[in-house]
Amino acid sequence: MSDFSDFIIYADESGDHGLGKDIDPNYPIFALVFCIIRKKDFIKEIVPAIKKFKFDYWGHDAVILHEREIHKSKDDFAFLLTGLNLRERFYNDLNKLIEAATMQIAAAVIDKIKLQERYKEPWNPYEIALYLCMEQLYERLCLEKQSTKLIHIVFESRGKKEDAKLKEEFLKISRNETRWGYKNLDFTRFKFEPIFKHKLSNSTGLQLADLTARPIGISALRPTQPNRAMEIIQPKLVSLKQFP
């Protein structure tokens, strides 16, 4: 058991990595977040707090917290349409939940329009964001002296084809086969293992990552717009890298 890292990392994205005609003019960015959590904090604080939150509002813990459905008050969150006071209380409690979560966040936001304007044959936005987040994770793991331990990074599954492609790119980075940017980091210092789980698995960590990804993306897209969620997330950011 001592061979496992003291940390667990959960990854999620906001937006898609399509380019060309696939770019959504209303949300022309791709954001990726790594929630870096010490396992003892996850076990003792975060998981119990999220379970309590679910029991308080639904009476069970089978609900999956999904930012898009919350925002649109759909499905399990349709009750938010029944009254303004209830909606405000729910969001206040949800914000407190995120604020209290002891974690650090590495994030990368790719402006897909600028990417295409600058490069004739641009890299895949997901690949760029993944490398940038891995850079930030690398620096954090160095500080925590995790080089001798197995580090799991849990990604939301997007299907066999997408997962296989992402895993291939992830392994290239971890083997130093991808060189991007001016830094020359030796990722082979660490033992990484990617895990792919569907959101329906009800992973507490993936739900936490899901709740942080879009506020970070919105903040990068519209930096002058009030963003209460981002205010809560900001102190947890290791760094936010934007490209180009």
Q: What would the two tokens of residue 1 be? A: 């058991």
Q: What would the two tokens of residue 10 be? A: 């959960």
pLDDT at 181: 66
Q: For 7-243, CATH number?
A: 3.30.420.10
The per-residue pLDDT string of the chain (244 residues; one tens digit each, 9 = 90 and over) reads 569 999 999 999 999 988 988 899 999 999 999 999 999 999 999 999 999 999 999 999 999 999 999 999 999 999 999 999 999 999 999 999 999 999 999 999 999 999 999 998 888 999 999 999 999 999 999 999 999 899 999 999 999 999 999 999 999 999 999 877 667 899 999 999 999 999 889 999 999 999 999 999 999 999 999 999 999 999 999 999 999 9
Report d(CA 101, CA 103) in Å as an integer: 6
C-alpha atoms less than 13 angstroms from C-alpha of 74 in its C-beta half-sphere: 6
For tokens 């969620």, name the residue. Answer: 229
66 close to 74: Cβ distance less than 8 angstroms = no
User: What is the rounded radius of gyration, in angstroms, for the C-alpha atoms of the chain?
Assistant: 18
Report d(CA 53, CA 67) in Å as an integer: 15
Report d(CA 86, CA 109) in Å as an integer: 33
Report d(CA 66, CA 195) in Å as an integer: 20
Say whether pTM exceeds 0.85.
yes
pLDDT at 3: 92
Between the CA of residue 240 and those of 57, 136, 144, what are the distances in Å? 33, 9, 20
Dihedral over alpha carbons 47, 53, 56, 58 (to 10 degrees): -90
Strand partners, 150: 4, 191
Q: How buried is residue 69: exposed, middle or buried, by Cβ count under 10 Å (0-12/13-18/19+)?
A: middle
φ, ψ (nearest 5 deg) of residue 95: -60, -40
Specify the pairing of strand 29-38 against strand 7-14.
antiparallel
Report d(CA 208, CA 210) in Å as an integer: 5
